[in-house]
Structure 1
């Protein structure tokens, strides 16, 4: 029996526990940096399969790194498991976690023969927080020669495209005063926020089509007869490439700074999470994955323009990586809606996660055998 048949057999042998893991995570959604149960369940499944698990990888309590084998080629599979606030697993990260776990377990008996060190990294806070970016900075991916994951979706693609994403929290501090008796003594923080929004709205007219600015005001006073002393807002900026994101951030921040000068308010700008970079897929890994997907009879992949963001992109700037999308038969429902959450634990998604585990493991084996 050849290596690829062995991998498929190993995934079949672990299928009940992989599907159970996916459903368990799906039934108990946990949001960014709160994924204590999902991380523990995923790590326990790997540990039972012979992996050595390090909990709290990179200083993040809901991250882990599981390793098996001593080969010279280290391949990391990324297991996401965070959910969306209010929507549960509407992005199908339960499928991602189970597929990465399955790939690791499928390669476990073959790792030394193939010359592999197999690593499964539990990666929290993809939806918000930049978990992989933080783990990358902390050295959790050090020594890896390739990094892979699959993401459930409503279509199939091999070469993933993503926007770079930055977040920005803005706060103006002015001076409260009675709006009628002593308006001249006030410094209106709500006016500062209004000016910043107007400036950003005018800036949008001058932006290329692949750059976007979105934001909401989260506070701007409480009583109409009191000049607001504080206002706050939360913004996202997006661009097709990381270098464009840096330029866009500078221009948006200038809008806030100008408003502070105009109103005499103080400004505080913060970045609540690392920037998500644009994804750079590796042509070699993508080719190996595509060949395996075709051999397995997966739907023909489609090419898509950038449509999403992922912190896996940060990994791809440092380590050869792929992030294929896998059609889970959601009937047209797309990630981040309630119908997709239901589809992520349906029988079609269960079949897809098992095939994803096979594809990831076979791609890693091909990479090892090609060296």
Structure 2
């Protein structure tokens, strides 16, 4: 069994982790800015994935690409210890908004934390694994990787996401990402409307039903969507339309209940207009995020040591982050998914101003602080005999 460092040695490890990140500071910031300049969408992050992987190769990691059949996923490994730590990098962007969710920062933080942990892997008995995880915004890359066994044997996992404020034990909502297609019959909208079956009207009926449903949603349930395809011309009765909708809830169980009620609204559109409809899952369902309490406490101590003041633990449950496929991982593996606060002038994620802020000086500082704190949290777990045993035992079960 790996020897557990004494208190003084643990402090020394923390200082070394910070020194490694500081040594790579310029390269980490350059990587963050480079990804930001070249945004790529879900499952098409070829340049971004390669850039992140190459940064790890340069740091001495062994990289395996095309993990579990996903050509923009990879795993980079260093060390041979029995405590396998997974650090997750995201790098997909948003349509039209680029890196308005700060995945450029997430990737750079992951590289920095990975390089720091690799420096102390031998003495802490670590195998450090940095995963390139595609398609978080839509597509559920981590869900696919989890289901296909990419994370089998990991003792713990974590990543750091930018946000308006520092939140350690961040929570998220479960998510269903749906496409609803309606099929009707074309006809001349003026000369022979009676011969048509209007798929555009089906969309309208469905959205009215969903709007009325909102009064009766459970606390924490949400639904929101867009008309992705509404027809071709005003003088043609639309025969093919599509809705894209997100359903969210505080848990997968609550999401299942919302799904049943929303599906009835989708069906109502088809029934009222004589159209057929089909519901398709665009992404696998995302579970709610459940951070590991001990890892969250270790990260809190580390990030406070960087001079930051995260929101109080009792406020975290009410500070929801939307949804993430990291939620599915957190149900299976002890996980950490804090947010690192950046100065975005009041903007929040998925706004253009937040995208601009993700390459600001405060974002660059966030890359450094996030990398150091994430590495320190995992190093603290490795150095704590009880927690180490818990994590290693859980990975083997």
Cα deviation for residue 227 of structure 1 reads 3.0
Task: Mark the CA change 1:188 to 1:325 in structure 2 (over 3 Å): closer, same or farther.
Answer: same
**Is 1:20 aligned with 2:30?**
yes
- Aligned pair partner of 1:139 in 126, 130, 149: 149
**Is 1:269 aligned with 2:283?**
no
**Residue 234 of structure 1: aligned partner:** 244
**Residue 199 of structure 1: aligned partner:** 209
Task: Mark the CA change 1:6 to 1:249 in structure 2 (over 3 Å): closer, same or farther.
Answer: same
Cα deviation for residue 237 of structure 1 reads 1.0
- Aligned pair partner of 1:293 in 286, 297, 303: 303
Mapping for residues 1-371 of structure 1, pairs under 5 Å:
2-179=12-189, 181-302=191-312, 303-304=315-316, 305=318, 306-370=320-384, 371=388
Partner secondary structure for residue 227 of structure 1: coil
Cα deviation for residue 51 of structure 1 reads 1.0
CA deviation map 1:126-150 (0-9, x unaligned): 1222111121112111111111111
* TM-score (normalizing by structure 1): 0.94
Gaps of 5+ in 1: none
Task: Mark the CA change 1:336 to 1:215 in structure 2 (over 3 Å): closer, same or farther.
Answer: closer
CA deviation map 1:54-81 (0-9, x unaligned): 1111211111111111111111011111
Cα deviation for residue 32 of structure 1 reads 1.4
Task: Mark the CA change 1:292 to 1:230 in structure 2 (over 3 Å): closer, same or farther.
Answer: same
Inter-partner Cα distance in structure 2 for 1:333 and 1:233:
28
Inter-partner Cα distance in structure 2 for 1:339 and 1:289:
28
Contact kept in structure 1, 2:48 and 2:91, CA below 8 Å: yes
Partner secondary structure for residue 275 of structure 1: coil
* TM-score (normalizing by structure 2): 0.88
Farther off after superposition, 68-77 or 29-38: 29-38
Number of aligned positions between the proteins = 371
Inter-partner Cα distance in structure 1 for 2:141 and 2:297:
27
Contact kept in structure 1, 2:78 and 2:121, CA below 8 Å: yes
Contact kept in structure 1, 2:180 and 2:280, CA below 8 Å: yes
Task: Mark the CA change 1:259 to 1:342 in structure 2 (over 3 Å): closer, same or farther.
Answer: closer
Inter-partner Cα distance in structure 2 for 1:263 and 1:74:
56
RMSD: 1.8
CA deviation map 1:305-329 (0-9, x unaligned): 2242111111111111111111123
CA deviation map 1:291-313 (0-9, x unaligned): 22222322243434224211111
Inter-partner Cα distance in structure 2 for 1:191 and 1:166:
24
CA deviation map 1:97-135 (0-9, x unaligned): 111111111111211211111000011111222111121
Contact kept in structure 1, 2:289 and 2:326, CA below 8 Å: yes
